[in-house]
Structure formats: C-alpha cells, structure tokens
Structure 1
Amino acid sequence: MDLQGISINQQATIVEALRKLNEIRDVSRLILFVTDTENRVIGSLTDGDIRRSLARDMDIHKKIDGVCNRNFVFERAEKQYVDLSFYRKKNIKILPLLDKKDRLEGIIDLGRIRSVLPLECVLMAGGRGKRLSPLTDNTPKPMLPLGEKPIIEHNIDRLISFGIQKIYIAINYLGDQIESYFGDGSSKGIKIEYIREKKALGTAGALSLVTDFQSDHILLMNSDLFTDVDFEDMYRNLLEKDADIMVASTEYKVDIPYAIFETRDESVVGFREKPTYVYYSNAGIYMIKKELIQQIPENTFYDITDLMDEVNRKGGTLAHNPIIGYWVDIGKPTDYEQAQEFIKHLK
C-alpha cells in the first residue's frame, strides 16, 4: 500500500484533495488521512466531508484542515491483534494504523479483508497423491484445478482474506510447479517462501526446517483441503483457552439403524432406538504455539499427532474448534468430484 497516496498535508486545498482522491486505487473507500508538518495524522477526509463543505460555502480553495474529520477512528500499529467486529458494527471501511507518534503506518481495509491475524502459515504441499492417480502423475495434487484455480490457491486466497501475509509452502513431489505458479507471492501482495523436503517428513516435520518464525503462533494446514474455515474464530478460541495447540475439527455422525442395548453384565438394562452418535475428527488445520516447534526433531519424519500426544503427555492444553461451514479433504477421486460439484453452487 502506497501510504503517500492516501496522505495529504493539512495546508492543501479542497481542489487538491479532490485530485488526490481521484487517483486512489485498490481500496474499498475513497479516503485521505490529513497530516501536519511532522507527518502526524490529525484527521481523515472523505468525499462526503468535501461535499458538506462545498454545500456550505462553495469554496474549493479552502484549506482542508478546516474540513477534515478530527474525531476519526484509529488503532495503534503495534497492537498485535485487532478485533474488527467492533468497527464493522460502526460501518467503518478503512481503519488507519498509527505509530506511537501518530504517524500513519498502515491501514486495514475492512471492505476487502475479514481480519488481520498475527499468524504465519505453513501449507503442506509435498505429498504424492497416489490415490488420485493418474491425475497426479504429472501434476502435484495441490495444483489440481478446482473451479477457475488450483486447490491450493483457494486456501492461499482465504488466508489472505484473514490478513495473513507470510506463507511457507512445504514442497517435494513436483514442487517446482507450485513454486513456478506462485513465485515469491508478490503477485498476491504477500510473501511466500518454500520449504524443500528432500524426503518425507510427515505432517509436522517440515516445521523444523524454519528457524525464523516471527509470530507467536504458527498456522499449519494441509494444502489439499477445500473449506470455508473461520480462522479468526479459531484464533480467538486459541487465545481464550490459552491452548498449546488448537485443532480445527469436523463433525462426523454415525447413524445406527437398530436399537442399541445398554447392558450390565449379561442383562439388558435399557436401549436406545436407532441412535445417532456424533464425533469430532481432525480437519488438518492447526494453530501451534511457536515454542512447541523446538520439540520437533530436525529433518526427521514427525507427524502432528506426535506433537499432540506430547502436549497431552505433559499436561498441556490441546483443544479443538469445530468448522461450521463446509470442509472437503481431497484425497480420493470421489472427494475431488464432490469438491468440483460443490464449487459450482458457491457464489
């Protein structure tokens, strides 16, 4: 984001502000942030503010320091996590982020993103996908098309919508196709780095190959999922429970077509007629405290379930967060067909 393009000095005139508003691109609302001689933000200016001023006196050469809104809403840039629900309720579209000296450091465009989560993400994309052969004989499974883009791109775009800006992609089988397609992520306005697995490292071993995670929690996710998981709800739940690992879960129902006896010794003491049992299963999405990654042996096959067992063994907090919407694990041809059919009905 070009912050100079949305900033204007308080001594500028209305006509100058109009010209600058007309040049703004890539934001959901036309707005300028008015600064003083020290580059401190003193107000916001929209086309509505200008219209109201012109309706009063028709003076297009008036200085904007007398027109701007000095009671504008802002957040501090150093704040790690901002719950945007409060601002959405107030119909705020652009939220400026100011540093300790009130200088503009960034903006949150609520019209384009759902949240800004302080997470780095690792996408697991190195598997062979044998069950989907021959589709995966020359194409890595995450790059199979789903609608108008590859499976993995659906996940990356959803991560971006939650404000996640740094993504690592763990690659192995035909990984050069993934790297060639996404590059360094700049085309999507994010940073992408690649973890090159020279051998199979399981579902968590690739985490040991990253030594410079910056966020306090790491999001680990299978790249062959098709889901509308709410990452923010999952993150809030993680914080509320102070969980070591938060696992996204899916509901799995088992319908028994018969009456089930409740027994004691060899006697029937009751029964349930055609009961339904509900279980929660692992959805392949995890939020992990960064310090736990030190427990993963370097460059060694290690599954995320090994780390989960370790957390439980040491008395840590392992929690799950149900996915309310849709979730498809694209592992078999029938799963892929289901996802292809499902996406046709999504808006």
Structure 2
Amino acid sequence: MLGVIPAAGLGKRMRPLTDDLPKPLLPVLNKPIIEHVIEHMRAVDVERIVVVIGYLGDKIKERLKAYDDTDIDIKFVKQEKLDGTVSAIKLAEKYIDEDFVVMWGDNFFRGNLNDLISSHVEKQAKISVMLEKAEKGARAYIERGRIVRVEERPKTAGGYAFAGVYVFNPGIFDFVDEVKKSEAGEYEISDLLQIAIDNGENINYAWLEGWRINVTTPLDLLKANLKALDYEGKPFFVGKDCRIEGKVVRSVIGNHVELKGKAVNSLIMDWSFVYGEIINVIVRTKGTVCGNYHCSTSIPCVI
C-alpha cells in the first residue's frame, strides 16, 4: 500500500511558531509530527509515500532526507496553489497505482490504523474512513450502519467526526474532477466523499480506538506533547545535550536546551535558554526566556 501525506498548508493559526517552520515539522516528544505519521505508515507496511509540500516545503524535504537509506521511498510533489485537500491528493495521482492511505501531516495520531486498512482490504472497499465519536469539525451521518451524508461545516446536530485517516482505491479519482470549490474557496475532501455517496458508493468505516489531536494552534501543540507524555507514562521528556539546573514537571524539553529554574506543563524547543519559572509556555526554537511566566491552560504563552 502507498501513503499520501498532505503537508502544504501555511499554518496561519499556529503563528508565530510557523513563521519560519512548516507546521508538520513542529515537534511532539522532540520528533516532527510528520515523522510520527510516517512511522505509523511504516508500521502497516507502507513502503512508498508521497508528501505534498507547499509552504516552506524545502525544509520538509531536507528533514526527510533522513529516510533516504531506509526501506521507505519518499517522493515529493509541490502544491503551488493552496486550494484544498482534494487538490493535494490529485497532485499525487501520477504516483498512485494501488490502494493508498491518506494521513494529514499535522494530525498527531495514536490509534488503530491497521484495523482500518484490514477492513478496507477485506471488504474490497473503494473508500474507507476512520471515525471518532465526537461532534467536532466535518461530520459523517450514519443511518442503518451506512454513511449517508457528509458535512464539512455541519448544519445538523449529531454525526461523527473524521479522525484524519482515509484509505482509497485509485478509482476515487473518477470523482475528483466533480468536486467544486466550497464556500471557503477550497476543494474539500468532505465534498469528494459526498459525491461518492451520491454516485452509489458505500463508504466503509472503522472507529478510532485511541486518540488523536489535529494540531492547528499552539494550544493543540502543547496538548499533543503533554498527552503523549502521559500516554507513554513519562513524568517529563528531556532531549540530548541539555543542561538542567532546576526542576522539570510534566514538560517536554528539546535538544541543546539550558534551563535554570522550573518548567511546568511546558514545551521548550531546541537550542533555547530559560532562566526563570515557566508554566503553560511554549518556547520557540532558539528562544530566550528571562523571568517568570505563569500562563493560562487555555491560552499558553508562546515566547
């Protein structure tokens, strides 16, 4: 099976963290989100991956050179016009000659990907999606065990959220050119799914067992790091070549960091210096903090 990772977005809601770094390279437990995605794909025997890049795409290409000598073959295609996820998938079509799994490059996922793929293969499905029992974002509406409607911006109560993981047969490209621009000016995967339903396709689905965070804002990034820390049963995480003089409480510390003070519920990225006490803070790469910053759990400080 082949993998496709859309990773072209601007990451506007993540600023200032994305001023000079594409969102898929932001770290969770000191590893870029996109590398977590790749490792999930490798675990289900995906051997070829197409990464769709755009904003600061050269930085993604440079980082993923680390996979050059591995069993994964990574190709890159550039999305010049950032006009939606369907456009991103269409750009990968020239490399697709078998069923393929799509996972967003900013989706931190800890779940049962293998169950979705196994179900897709067993049922010889054209489309398979992973759903979670939550009312957020785009939603699928189910009647008598079948997905009958998909809404990107739900106007109807109920439904189930998409977990950001899809498996497609190449036959999906039969419907791609029918997708029209949404009100937001994008070609959206929800519309692609609805077109497939309207054409009589039965969309296969599996339920998420585990958890995932769509990393859109600085709060999402901090939540992903702290939840991953708890998930692995670690009280804190400290990278290599750090100098710690103080206390680290439920925080993730990058590489080459100097901390003189205390970090609580915080993320300190690489090559940073912290002199003081920080709570609910994200320190940017090569950041410097002097003094105490006690911030809200709902709105972390970004320094």
Structure-2-length-normalised TM-score? 0.63
Alignment correspondent of 1:288? 168
Matched, 1:214 2:97: yes
Shift of 1:327: 0.9
Q: Provide the rounded CA distance (Å) in 2 between the counterparts of 1:195 and 1:240.
A: 31
The one of 14, 25, 37 equivalent to 1:155 is 37
Amino acid at match of 1:129: G
Higher alpha-carbon Rg: 1
Amino acid at match of 2:176: I
Is 1:226–1:327's contact at 8 Å kept on the other side of the alignment? Answer: yes
Alignment correspondent of 1:346? 231
Alignment correspondent of 2:206? 321
Identical aligned residues as a percent = 29
Q: Provide the rounded CA distance (Å) in 2 between the counterparts of 1:253 and 1:122.
A: 26
Alignment correspondent of 2:107? 225
Amino acid at match of 1:232: N
Shift of 1:139: 0.5
Q: Cα–Cα, structure 1 residues 191 and 184, in superposed 2: closer, same or farther, change >3 Å? A: farther
Give structure 1 stretches of 5+ with no counterpart.
1-118, 255-276
Q: Provide the rounded CA distance (Å) in 2 between the counterparts of 1:330 and 1:139.
A: 14
Q: Provide the rounded CA distance (Å) in 2 between the counterparts of 1:253 and 1:203.
A: 21
Is 1:251–1:278's contact at 8 Å kept on the other side of the alignment? Answer: no
Amino acid at match of 1:306: D
Root-mean-square deviation (Å)? 2.4
Q: Trace 1:265-304 onto structure 2 (pairs within 5 A).
A: 279-297=159-177, 302-304=187-189
Q: Trace 1:160-239 onto structure 2 (pairs within 5 A).
A: 160-183=42-65, 185-209=67-91, 210-215=93-98, 217-239=99-121
Q: Provide the rounded CA distance (Å) in 1 between the counterparts of 2:209 and 2:132.
A: 8
Q: Provide the rounded CA distance (Å) in 1 between the counterparts of 2:199 and 2:125.
A: 13
Deviation readout 1:43-89 (Å, 9 max, x if unpaired) = xxxxxxxxxxxxxxxxxxxxxxxxxxxxxxxxxxxxxxxxxxxxxxx
Kindly tell me the number of residue pairs found equivalent between the two proteins: 206
Which region of structure 1 is more displaced relative to structure 2, 302-311 or 138-147? Answer: 302-311
Q: Cα–Cα, structure 1 residues 185 and 220, in superposed 2: closer, same or farther, change >3 Å? A: same
Q: Provide the rounded CA distance (Å) in 2 between the counterparts of 1:128 and 1:329.
A: 15
SS at match of 1:183: helix
Q: Trace 1:20-59 onto structure 2 (pairs within 5 A).
A: none
Is 1:123–1:220's contact at 8 Å kept on the other side of the alignment? Answer: yes
Is 2:175–2:195's contact at 8 Å kept on the other side of the alignment? Answer: no
Alignment correspondent of 1:129? 11
Is 1:184–1:192's contact at 8 Å kept on the other side of the alignment? Answer: no
Amino acid at match of 1:213: I
Q: Provide the rounded CA distance (Å) in 2 between the counterparts of 1:250 and 1:194.
A: 30
Is 1:184–1:193's contact at 8 Å kept on the other side of the alignment? Answer: no
Is 1:245–1:287's contact at 8 Å kept on the other side of the alignment? Answer: yes
Q: Provide the rounded CA distance (Å) in 2 between the counterparts of 1:294 and 1:316.
A: 12
Shift of 1:148: 1.9
Amino acid at match of 1:317: N
Amino acid at match of 1:242: Q
Is 1:296–1:302's contact at 8 Å kept on the other side of the alignment? Answer: no
Q: Provide the rounded CA distance (Å) in 2 between the counterparts of 1:201 and 1:219.
A: 21
Matched, 1:142 2:24: yes
The one of 176, 197, 202 equivalent to 1:312 is 197
Q: Provide the rounded CA distance (Å) in 2 between the counterparts of 1:288 and 1:229.
A: 19
Q: Provide the rounded CA distance (Å) in 1 between the counterparts of 2:89 and 2:12.
A: 24
Q: Provide the rounded CA distance (Å) in 1 between the counterparts of 2:77 and 2:174.
A: 17
SS at match of 1:180: helix
Q: Provide the rounded CA distance (Å) in 1 between the counterparts of 2:226 and 2:69.
A: 29
Q: Provide the rounded CA distance (Å) in 1 between the counterparts of 2:66 and 2:173.
A: 24
SS at match of 2:213: strand
Amino acid at match of 1:196: K
Q: Provide the rounded CA distance (Å) in 2 between the counterparts of 1:337 and 1:307.
A: 32
Q: Provide the rounded CA distance (Å) in 2 between the counterparts of 1:304 and 1:143.
A: 23
